[in-house]
Structure 1
Amino acid sequence: MDDHRAGRLDEAALGYRRVLEHEPHHADALYLLGLIEFKRGKADSAAQWIRQAIDIHPSPMFLGSLGNVLSAMDDAAGAEAAYRRVIELNPDDVDANLKLGVLLTNARRWDEGEALLRHALALDPARAGSYRHLGRSLVLQRRFAEAEPLIRRAIELRPDDARTHAGLAAALVSQGRDDEAQRACTTALAIDPQCVDALVNQGLIQLNASRLSEAEHALRAALEVDAGHAIAQFNLSAVLLKEGRYEEGWRLYEARLAPDVRVDQPLDGNRSEWHGEPLQGKSIVVLCEQGFGDMLQFCRYLPMLWRLGPARLTIVCPASLTRLLETMDGAPSWVLTSDRHDAVDHDFWCALMSLPLRFGTTLQSIPAASPYLKAPEAALRRWRAWLPSGGFKVGLVWAGDSRIRQADARIVDRRRSLHAHDFAPLLKVAGATFVSLQLGRLSRPQIEAIDPQWRPLDPMGEVADFADTAAIVQCLDLVIAVDTSTAHLAGALNCPVWILSRFDGCWRWLEHRDDSPWYPSARLFRQRSAGDWTEVVERVTQALHERLASGA
Structure 2
Amino acid sequence: MTSRTIEALTAEAMGMLASGRRNEALIRLRQTAGQPGDDQARYAAGEALLRASECREGWDLYDLHPSRPVDTLPSVARWDGQHCRQLVVVAEQGFGDALQFLRFMPAATAHADNVVFAVHDELLDVLRDAPALAGVTVLSKSAASVLEWPTDARWERLMSLPARLPGLAAAPVEAYIAAPIPRRCGDASQTVVGVAWRSTPRRGFPNRSFPARLCHRLTRLAGVQVVAIQRSRDIRSLPAGVHDPGIVDFTETAQVIAGCDVIVTADTVTAHLAPALGVPTMVCLRREPDWRWGTPTYPTSWYASARLLFQPAPERWSPVLQEAAACIADGTLPTSSFTPPPGAPR
TM range (shorter): 0.7 to 0.9
Q: How does 1:37-436 map to 2 (within 5 A)?
A: 196=3, 200=7, 203=10, 207=14, 210=18, 227-244=36-53, 246-257=55-66, 266-275=72-81, 277-279=82-84, 282-306=85-109, 308=110, 310-329=112-131, 330-331=133-134, 333-339=136-142, 340-342=144-146, 344-346=148-150, 347-361=153-167, 366=170, 368-377=172-181, 380=182, 383-384=183-184, 387-403=186-202, 407-408=203-204, 411-412=205-206, 414=207, 416-436=208-228
Shift of 1:390: 3.6
What residue ranges of structure 2 are gaps of 5+ in the alignment?
Answer: 337-346
| Residues 221 and 329 in structure 2, CA contact (< 8 A), matched pair in contact too | yes
Shift of 1:228: 4.1
Alpha-carbon distance between aligned partners in 1 of 2:167 and 2:330, rounded to the nearest angstrom? 36
What corresponds to 1:530 in structure 2? 314
Of structures 1 and 2, the one scoring higher in RCO (CA 8 A, sep 6+) is 2
SS of the equivalent of 1:299 reads helix
| Residues 55 and 292 in structure 2, CA contact (< 8 A), matched pair in contact too | no
Cα 1:535–1:462 change in 2 (3 A) is closer
Shift of 1:519: 0.4
What residue ranges of structure 1 are gaps of 5+ in the alignment?
Answer: 1-193
Cα 1:479–1:504 change in 2 (3 A) is same
| Residues 202 and 215 in structure 1, CA contact (< 8 A), matched pair in contact too | no
What corresponds to 1:482 in structure 2? 266
What corresponds to 2:244 in structure 1? 458
Shift of 1:369: 3.9
What corresponds to 2:341 in structure 1? none
| Residues 490 and 496 in structure 1, CA contact (< 8 A), matched pair in contact too | yes
- The structure with the greater share of residues assigned to strand is 2
Cα 1:445–1:302 change in 2 (3 A) is same
Shift of 1:335: 3.5
One of 538, 543, 550 as aligned partner of 2:327:
543
Task: Tell me which amino acid in the other structure corresponds to 2:158.
Answer: L
Alpha-carbon distance between aligned partners in 2 of 1:333 and 1:298, rounded to the nearest angstrom? 15
Cα 1:202–1:458 change in 2 (3 A) is farther
| Residues 200 and 219 in structure 1, CA contact (< 8 A), matched pair in contact too | no
SS of the equivalent of 2:44 reads helix
Task: Tell me which amino acid in the other structure corresponds to 2:124.
Answer: T
Measured against aligned partners, the alpha-carbon deviations of 1:325-344 in whole angstroms (never above 9, x if no partner) come to 11223457513122242455
Percentage identity across aligned positions? 27
Alpha-carbon distance between aligned partners in 2 of 1:207 and 1:344, rounded to the nearest angstrom? 45
Shift of 1:257: 3.2
Alpha-carbon distance between aligned partners in 2 of 1:474 and 1:241, rounded to the nearest angstrom? 31
| Residues 316 and 337 in structure 1, CA contact (< 8 A), matched pair in contact too | yes
Measured against aligned partners, the alpha-carbon deviations of 1:143-187 in whole angstroms (never above 9, x if no partner) come to xxxxxxxxxxxxxxxxxxxxxxxxxxxxxxxxxxxxxxxxxxxxx
Alpha-carbon distance between aligned partners in 1 of 2:290 and 2:33, rounded to the nearest angstrom? 23
Cα 1:251–1:295 change in 2 (3 A) is same
Alpha-carbon distance between aligned partners in 2 of 1:513 and 1:482, rounded to the nearest angstrom? 19
| Residues 514 and 523 in structure 1, CA contact (< 8 A), matched pair in contact too | no
- The structure with the greater share of residues assigned to helix is 1
Alpha-carbon distance between aligned partners in 2 of 1:270 and 1:338, rounded to the nearest angstrom? 14
Cα 1:513–1:221 change in 2 (3 A) is closer
Task: Tell me which amino acid in the other structure corresponds to 2:331.
Answer: R
Shift of 1:270: 4.9
Measured against aligned partners, the alpha-carbon deviations of 1:43-99 in whole angstroms (never above 9, x if no partner) come to xxxxxxxxxxxxxxxxxxxxxxxxxxxxxxxxxxxxxxxxxxxxxxxxxxxxxxxxx
Alpha-carbon distance between aligned partners in 2 of 1:547 and 1:265, rounded to the nearest angstrom? 42
Q: How many corresponding residue pairs?
A: 327
Alpha-carbon distance between aligned partners in 2 of 1:294 and 1:536, rounded to the nearest angstrom? 24
What TM-score, normalized to structure 2?
0.81
Shift of 1:392: 0.8
CA RMSD of aligned residues (A): 3.4
Shift of 1:428: 0.8
What corresponds to 1:518 in structure 2? 302
Alpha-carbon distance between aligned partners in 2 of 1:523 and 1:273, rounded to the nearest angstrom? 35
Alpha-carbon distance between aligned partners in 2 of 1:220 and 1:470, rounded to the nearest angstrom? 40
SS of the equivalent of 1:539 reads helix
Alpha-carbon distance between aligned partners in 1 of 2:311 and 2:209, rounded to the nearest angstrom? 12
Cα 1:271–1:312 change in 2 (3 A) is same
Shift of 1:401: 0.7
Task: Tell me which amino acid in the other structure corresponds to 1:533.
Answer: W
1:472 partnered with 2:256: yes
Measured against aligned partners, the alpha-carbon deviations of 1:178-235 in whole angstroms (never above 9, x if no partner) come to xxxxxxxxxxxxxxxx8745963894698499468798788778879x7142111211
